[in-house]
Amino acid sequence: MVVAPPNPVRSEKPEPIELPVIDLSADRSEVSKLIVKACEQYGFFKAVHHGVPDDVIAAMEEEGLGFFTKPVCEKQRAGPAGPFGYGIKSIGFNGDSGEVEYLLLHTNPSSICQLSHTISDDPKKFSSAVSGYIEAVKRLACEILDLMAEGLGVHEPSLLSNMIRDVDSDSMFRLNRYPPSSFHTPAPPHRATTTTEIGFGEHTDPQMLTILRSNDVGGLQICVAGGTWVPVTPDPTAFCINVGDVLQAMTNGRFMSVRHRALTNGFKYRMSMAYFGAPPPHAWLSVPPELVTPHRPLLYRPFNWAEYKKASYSLRLGDSRLQLFLK
């Protein structure tokens, strides 16, 4: 991927992409077909009637906002992110940066509990809100992975979801806050332009899948055919689901792990909450035999998550990783 440039991004406001909106409470066989179609065509979809309670979401949003509105000196008690904890502008270990501040947490309850003492004045409340939210979106992720497996015709429907149910799952949770653009200037009356900055640079998610929620402020963009960047309309009533690199590999390339990025908004703060479902470090990641055919031969060699994660951490944010694991 391309490293986030320091300069503002000026565009003529391309038309937002209308991602598939899938009602998870509908007929199961139809839902599984719609999910497979969305993941093959877009790599993204929006999920409604998802079963995550409103009070669980509200509690997590309250804790996230409470942290980000603290003075910088207090937030820095939880940093620097290495990789877990508080970070600002610096992303990863290889020089990438963006207009973002974030909290990155491992989903292990003991890790959350330990770090919460540096994050919150009421660590018990913070830890409870985070753990409750993670458990709810983890259930959602498992349900979606089961629906994916069914729609793909995988013989063992829980093959994918068992990897993030595992007690040693390496799943992570990230809170991001993007500031209003410091470069924003009012556009001339005859031009509908917006000047923004790169909040989080172009990348794919290395894990299996991502469950993303944001407030009603736009900023997420995905890269479509031809390399065009298009904005995703924000919807605070839905979760945005996207395929990660591991899932692209395990579906033998049928699902797409799509490049995406986050831009700052001209006037408002944007806060997002992302759950990254990942396998245990030493889980063997191989394509189910049902997804290998004479017309679709094996694309990727088997590997484990520890191996893939190491490769990811050694590269820049915008670098391609899956090509290193082609058969």
Active-site positions? 270
Residue 263, Cβ density class (10 Å: 0-12 exposed, 13-18 middle, ≥19 buried): buried
CB-based contact 52:132 (threshold 8 Å): no
Give CA separation, 76 vs 68, 88, 132, 232, 315, in Å: 11, 9, 25, 31, 26
CB-based contact 213:205 (threshold 8 Å): no
Q: How far apart are CA 203 and CA 223, in angstroms?
A: 10
**Lookup result for tokens 């910088």:** 72
309, 302, 292, 306: which is closest to 325 by C-alpha?
302
